[in-house]
Chains A and B, each alone.
Chain A
Amino acid sequence: MCLAIPAQVVELLPDGMATVSAGGITRSVSVALVDDVALGDYVLLHVGYALHKISAEEAEATLKMMAEAGLIEEELGAGQ
């Protein structure tokens, strides 16, 4: 719940929503709380809402660490 996952925006949807991808998992999330989100941006994702844009380097480094720790699937609620 308190973790944030860096995810890449792969599709912009109506109503402030977007499809994002993290660690091979895609999800539909809200980007309504972040200004000017563009395709390809990385965002920090919290319980289904992007809270902040981050750099690609930051995102990749964090994702690598989380993948090693097995945290991504746990946090994205995969398989539910």
Chain B
Amino acid sequence: MKYVSEFRDPALAQSLATAIAREVDPARSYAFMEFCGGHTHAIFRYGVQDLVPSNVRFVHGPGCPVCVLPMRRLDDALELAERHGVILATYGDMMRVPGSGRRSMLTARGAGADIRMVYSPLDALALARDNPGRQVVFMGIGFETTTPATGMAILTARAQSLTNFSVFCNHVLTPPAMEHVLAAPGIALDGFLGPSHVSTVIGAGAYRPLVAQYGRPMVIAGFEPLDVLQSVLMLVRQVNEGRREVENQYSRVVTEAGNTRAKEVIEEVFALRETFEWRGLGSVPRSARAIRPELADFDAEARFAISEKQSREVKSCECPAILRGVKQPKDCKLFGKACTPETPMGACMVSSEGSCAAYYTYRRAETMAEMEAAE
């Protein structure tokens, strides 16, 4: 139990681990998908896998927005910055993600493109106000947690008549991605750890139809390691008792309905795309947001002519299968060799929420040893 001392309440961590070990049925296995990359990170950082019995397995889900963005969309963003001469404002997570030909926002910036790292869409609005002679495009990316912020920025731009601000919208939805994973063949899941912050926006109620249809337990989990441990215990109990419910471990923050005002902003600004391409999942119907036609002035895709292009993923990169939960980083022959956080071949190695980055940072030696043993 080498990690327990790092928990905020080591005694509680220990007693949760003991309870899980006591209640797990040794005759069966438990595969739980943590959807959110933030949970993936916490599980690795605190060694949660080592605190649970070996027949309880975490399957890492596609809830890392940078990882699931298809290369084509990144190439489009690079084109906006390079060909259309805009100021491209983006979250830091995007800077090192490799696009076609291993080019990234960082290399494009080095070659003269005006790409700025921002903490918030508010900073992108400020860039537009401070540079009235330039077009500013904000790279909107993320699940339901970051969508309201992008929506608010668009409403603010409209209220302030900012004619040089637009958004390249790549926002995606959690429940359709979960459904896609559940409906896919070849993956056996016994339950989901539901995301913390996405759920503060969409509410616990958003998952009920999914849980009813697919009959898998769901526990919405806080993002601290103690939350994750407690949620695993709740999932184990659901499985053992044959219950298939949405439970809310993070009830101190997440409500049934979520944040009504944030949901209203999303509805006011965004429509659903009929379909959207995800890295790893392919085309997922009604899984992404687009800016409503009446707000087309603030939609970079309506404002700039973005060329058709063929984006090519790195052939041997296993990111797609890893994002679906059907492969692990150790199954990728690039891991730790050609692909490291310093020289990433795929997005899963770039983002701190990506599975490969988590394995590399916290379990590199074990993973490399497993790879050698398999050769």
Residues of A bordering B, CB below 8 Å: 1-4, 28-30, 32-35, 44, 46-49, 51-52, 54-55, 58, 61-62, 64-65, 69, 76-77, 80
Interface contact tally, CB-CB below 8 A: 98
Main secondary structure of the interface of A (DSSP, over half): mixed
User: Separation in Å of the A34 CB from the closest CB of chain B?
Assistant: 7
User: Once the chains bind, are B123 and A51 in contact (CB under 8 Å)?
Assistant: no
Report the bound CA distance from A74 to B367 in whole Å.
28
The one of B91, B120, B123, B152 in contact with A33, judged by C-beta atoms closer than 8 angstroms, is: B152
User: Once the chains bind, are A46 and B146 in contact (CB under 8 Å)?
Assistant: yes
User: Once the chains bind, are B252 and A58 in contact (CB under 8 Å)?
Assistant: yes
The one of B66, B119, B223 in contact with A47, judged by C-beta atoms closer than 8 angstroms, is: B119
A78 — nearest CB in chain B belongs to which residue? B119
User: Once the chains bind, are A2 and B259 in contact (CB under 8 Å)?
Assistant: no
Given contacts A1-B93, A48-B121, is CB(A69)–CB(B259) below 8 Å? Answer: no
B124 — nearest CB in chain A belongs to which residue? A48
The one of B122, B145, B262, B265 in contact with A2, judged by C-beta atoms closer than 8 angstroms, is: B145
B224 — nearest CB in chain A belongs to which residue? A65
- In the assembled complex, which residues on chain A have CB atoms less than 8 Å from the CB atom of B259? 33-34, 51-52
B99 lies within 8 A of chain A by Cβ: no
27 interchain pairs, CB-CB under 8 A:
A1-B142, A2-B38, A2-B146, A3-B38, A4-B223, A30-B149, A32-B152, A33-B148, A33-B262, A34-B259, A35-B261, A44-B197, A44-B253, A46-B149, A47-B146, A47-B149, A48-B119, A48-B120, A51-B201, A52-B200, A54-B252, A55-B252, A61-B8, A62-B224, A65-B224, A77-B117, A77-B118
User: Separation in Å of the A8 CB from the closest CB of chain B?
Assistant: 16
Chain B contacts with A in 25-80, Cβ cutoff 8 A:
36-38, 45, 65-66
What is the interface residue range for chain B against chain A? 35 or more
B353 lies within 8 A of chain A by Cβ: yes
User: Separation in Å of the A36 CB from the closest CB of chain B?
Assistant: 11
User: Once the chains bind, are A48 and B197 in contact (CB under 8 Å)?
Assistant: no
Given contacts A2-B36, A2-B38, A49-B149, is CB(A33)–CB(B265) below 8 Å? Answer: yes
Given contacts A1-B142, A1-B146, A35-B261, is CB(A30)–CB(B197) below 8 Å? Answer: no
- In the assembled complex, which residues on chain A have CB atoms less than 8 Å from the CB atom of B223? 3-4
B92 lies within 8 A of chain A by Cβ: yes
B39 — nearest CB in chain A belongs to which residue? A2
- In the assembled complex, which residues on chain B have CB atoms less than 8 Å from the CB atom of A48? 119-123, 149
- In the assembled complex, which residues on chain B have CB atoms less than 8 Å from the CB atom of A65? 8, 224
Report the bound CA distance from A76 to B119 in whole Å.
7
- In the assembled complex, which residues on chain B have CB atoms less than 8 Å from the CB atom of A69? 45
Report the bound CA distance from A29 to B121 in whole Å.
10
User: Once the chains bind, are A47 and B120 in contact (CB under 8 Å)?
Assistant: yes
Report the bound CA distance from A44 to B223 in whole Å.
13
Report the bound CA distance from A52 to B258 in whole Å.
9
User: Once the chains bind, are A77 and B252 in contact (CB under 8 Å)?
Assistant: no
Report the bound CA distance from A51 to B149 in whole Å.
9
